[in-house]
Amino acid sequence: MKKSKIIVALSLVSMMVLSACSAGEVSTTPDPAPATPGTEEPAASDEKFVIRAGIGLNDQHPQYKGLEVMKEYVERVSEGRIEMQLFHSSQLGDDIQMMEALQMGSQEVTAPSTAPITSIDKRFMIFDLPFLFPTEEVASDLLDGELGQELLDGLDAHGLIGLAYWENGYRHLTNSVKEVRTPADMEGLKIRTMENEVHLDFFRALGANPTPMPFGELFTAMQTGVVDGQENPVPTIALQNFAEVQDYTTLTGHVYSPFVLLMSKIFWDKLPEDLQTVVSDGAIIARDEQRIINREYTEELKGDLRDAGMTVTELTPDELKAFQDATKPTVEKFKGEIGKDYVDEVLAEIERLNGK
Ligand code: TK8
């Protein structure tokens, strides 16, 4: 009896421990040795996968609309084996924090601008060089081609899967102090930039006083006067209500910014192959839709900025050239850091695409 009592007691204890383990809290049994990559037990076909997708912009922005298109596709085509939960307005952190969360496996998807990714791979600085792309079409053709793919493939080594390039768009300057038509008008303006050396350099070259800052802190910084201005595409200026704290927009179009749709490699490697295909197809289908929405919004919302009381300045060709000339030293300065060969390849490809 006594012996059996001990056995019962022991099995009770182990059941309690087991039930505690299944709740994912306490584990007394040593974790099984991590399976050699590629030898993991394939996920059961009915296993459900949850994707937490976080962005910095709000739910009105074309970036969020793109996530909604992707959510609809992956949930439908995976027949519910994938659930996508969407988080906007920096609910899960800023671009850099979310990228790090993906690398650690505590989040599955985010879509930062390329600027923060330069902290991981300097070649992404190519997209921050001022006045690089003559049109959106040339930009997306290059991004979707070999040269763009080469950079996405390089993210694997950093625990990230580069799924696609979505569109942030041409960036324009706003401020609350004065109308800007020339580089001289920039003198001393406190401008918020993304956390990126290239942007800091060319705003200094324009005579401004740039401050790098996460997007989530920008609105308050403009409201309180910590900064006089910032630069972003029209949909962001309009849909993030910058007209409430900014009076002037100058359509400089100084940089075409892509977003990079990223997935955690830890999560990606757990997905069975058929679901990896659903995710990558969904990313591309949503990309094409997101770009169309972004370009439509960009045209429509320019009028909204004026209706909201902003002075919207279109530069003359000469005025634009003055900005291009003033920022040329930045291009030369960062060619080396990005890699001269890669820069030359990209410039040659832009010329080819632009001549098409
Ligand atoms: C939003 C940012 C934003 C970017 C910036 O998270 O930081 O100004 O243009 O879109 O990625």
CA-proximal residue: ligand 1, atom 1 (nearest):
56
| Atom 9 in ligand 1: residue holding the nearest Cα | 232
Closest ligand 1 atom to 95 CA? 6
- The whole-model pTM stands at 0.87
Residue of 57, 63, 242 with the most ligand 1 atoms within 8 Å of its CB, for mutation: 57
Q: What is the pLDDT of residue 36?
A: 54
pLDDT at 356: 78
Q: What is the pLDDT of residue 39?
A: 52
Note the pLDDT of residue 46.
76
User: What is the overall mean pLDDT for the chain?
Assistant: 91
User: Would you say 294 and 62 are in contact if contact means Cβ atoms under 8 Å apart?
Assistant: yes
173-187 pLDDT tens trace: 999 999 999 999 999
Q: Partners of 105 in the beta sheet?
A: none
Could you report the per-residue pLDDT of 247-278, keeping only the tens digit for each? 999 999 999 999 999 999 999 999 999 999 99
Q: What average pLDDT does range 80-86 have in this prediction?
A: 98
Q: What would the two tokens of residue 50 be?
A: 């949850």
Nearest Cα residue to atom 4 of ligand 1: 113
Partnered with residue 264 across adjacent β-strands are 160
Task: Using alpha carbons, list the distances in angstroms from residue 81 to 68, 69, 76, 78, 202.
Answer: 17, 17, 9, 5, 47
Angle at alpha carbon of residue 42, lines to 39 and 45, rounded to 5° = 175
Closest atom of ligand 1 to CA, residue 63? 10
Q: What is the pLDDT of residues 211-238, one digit of tens each?
A: 999 999 999 999 999 999 999 999 999 9
Give the separation between CA 192 and CA 175, rounded to whole angstroms. Answer: 10
Report yes or no: 199 and 180 within 8 Å, Cβ to Cβ.
no
Lateral strand order in the sheet of 82-87: 82-87, 49-54, 109-110, 256-264, 160-170
Residue 192 CA: nearest ligand 1 atom is: 8
The pLDDT score that the predictor gives to residue 105 is: 98
Q: Confirm if 349 and 147 have CB atoms less than 8 A apart.
A: yes
Q: What pLDDT was estimated at residue 2?
A: 47
DSSP 34: P
Q: Which SS3 state, helix, strand or coil, does residue 152 take?
A: helix
Q: Taking residues 52-61, report their average pLDDT.
A: 98
Pocket test for ligand 1, best of 170, 257, 294, 297 (most atoms within 8 A of CB): 257
Confidence band for 14, pLDDT divided at 50, 70 and 90: low
pLDDT tens digits, residue range 278-290? 999 999 999 999 9
Give the integer Cα–Cα distance in Å for 95 and 216: 9
Question: What span, in angstroms and rounded, lies between the C-alpha atoms of 195 and 226?
Answer: 16
pLDDT for the residue numbered 31: 46
Q: Cβ < 6 Å from ligand 1: which residues?
A: 56-57, 95, 112-113, 168, 194, 215, 232, 236, 257
Q: Round to whole Å and give the CA distance between 142 and 148.
A: 6
| Distance, first Cα to last Cα, the chain | 89
For ligand 1, the distance from its centroid to the CA atom of residue 214, given in whole angstroms, is 8
